Amino acid sequence: MHQIATSQPMIVGHAGAGVKCAHYGKGPEWPENTICAFRRAEQLGVTMVECDATITKDSEVVLHHNFTLGVCEQPRKSEKDPQTFILEHKTDGVVNENSTDLIVNYQLSEIRSLLRKVNGTIGCANIIQSQYPSPLTMNDPIPNIHGKEAEPIPLLKDAFYQTSTNLSFNVEIKYPIETPYNLVAEELIKHKPVELSLPTPSSYFYKINKFCDTILDTIWSHAGPRYVILSSFNPDICLALRLKQSFLPVLFISRGGYPNDSSHKSDPRHHNIFSATSWAHIMNLNGIVTVGHHFGSTNDVDDRQIKSLGADLESKQLSCFVYGDGVSEMSFYRKASQLNLTGVIVDRLDEFMHMYHDQYKTNTQLVSPNF
């Protein structure tokens, strides 16, 4: 499986037009994982957006960062006003058999009913159309962040039908990180007996086969002739996606041992960045997605380690996209170009693209992947 070929790092809009303060609801500019954010990214000239895909109880593929559906009531000006709710963008914490309010336990109609607005709609109404719009340009009106395009938890197929086929999608598959390998390793580390039936995501969340099939079917049926890549933190999901098809590129997302609250330390495939690249290579994946820290975005990595990682990716012919602290700066984008990284997943996309065009003195379309 060959790496994705680009002449310079692709600029990818994080959850659309770039998450201002990722996943905490503090970004007033472009609501993440919404159609208006995808359209704004295309308007800015970006050729790819990243989105987070999960599945409802009735097998609809929806876009939402969290595994859970957290809502809070909006203040009412008077007692006569109807109840309305908004999404709470808080971290999920650990997702396991004890988790509640998982999106996979709700039907799409229940989600829309729960978040019903005053006008009686939530999410984008199912769209029936057979054609895709023309590419949005800077001469077109700016997408409305207060309209239906900005409503949360849209269907993936609607995101396809409301953007031109020039816009590529990096579809991150939102599936819990726990794997049988991971759970067995944890039990052995604690010197506990391994139970016959471990509570894996297939038992409390969704069967992996059906989960992958549902998302793939949606892409085959509705994406049109656009470029789509698949990615996931769950290595078993990546493996299933690769075994099921070889047309769509599959990338393994791993922080590569770089610590945070949701580090996947007990699974050897996440142990360090070289474990991640080795597993991706062995499983014939197209590449990895990781934090820019490993390439010096936070200025606390030795240059020798950066060169070693770059050589490792080149020898294994793996693509590499990066995200996180420090990557949404032009200084790092120039560095990413020198390191031959495949793409940079950018926050604050409006601000970044202004800097990009000012730096390169061009308004031409950005590079697309060769396929």
Which residue ranges make up each domain of the chain? Answer: 10-360
Amino acid at 243: L
Beta strands in the chain (DSSP E): 10-13, 48-55, 61-63, 71-73, 85-87, 168-173, 228-232, 250-253, 287-291, 319-323, 343-346
Q: What's the pLDDT band for 263 if we cut at 50, 70, 90? A: low
What is the per-residue DSSP string for 2-67? PPPB-SSPEEEETTTT--SSTTTT---SS-TT-HHHHHHHHHTT-SEEEEEEEE-TT--EEE-SSS
- Radius of gyration of the chain measured on its C-alpha atoms: 20
pLDDT exceeds cutoff 70 at 128: no
pLDDT at 127: 55
Length of the chain: 371
pLDDT exceeds cutoff 90 at 94: no
Q: How far apart are CA 80 and CA 357, in angstroms?
A: 50
Give just the sign of the alpha carbon dihedral 241, 246, 249, 254. Answer: positive
Of residues 65 and 263, more confidence is placed in 65
The helix (run of H) or strand (run of E) holding residue 87 is strand 85-87
> Which residue's entry shows tokens 């050897």?
268
Segment 59-68 shows an average pLDDT of: 94
Q: How far apart are CA 121 and CA 229, in angstroms?
A: 31
Give just the sign of the alpha carbon dihedral 269, 7, 228, 28. Answer: positive
| pLDDT above 70 coverage of the chain, percent | 83
Segment 95-112 shows an average pLDDT of: 88
Segment 201-219 shows an average pLDDT of: 92
Determine the angle formed by the axes of helices 180-189 and 235-244, rounding to 10 degrees. Answer: 150
The β-bridge partners of 231 are 172, 251
CATH 3.20.20.190 fits 10-360, yes or no: yes
Q: Which of 140, 92, 142, 151 is nearest to 118 (CA)?
A: 151
Average model confidence (pLDDT) for the chain?
Answer: 85
Q: What's the pLDDT band for 113 if we cut at 50, 70, 90? A: confident
Q: What's the pLDDT band for 1 if we cut at 50, 70, 90? A: very low
Query: Do 92 and 64 contact (CB within 8 A), yes or no?
Result: no
The β-bridge partners of 253 are 289
Give just the sign of the alpha carbon dihedral 118, 121, 124, 128. Answer: negative
What is the per-residue DSSP string for 238-251? HHHHHHH-SSS-EE
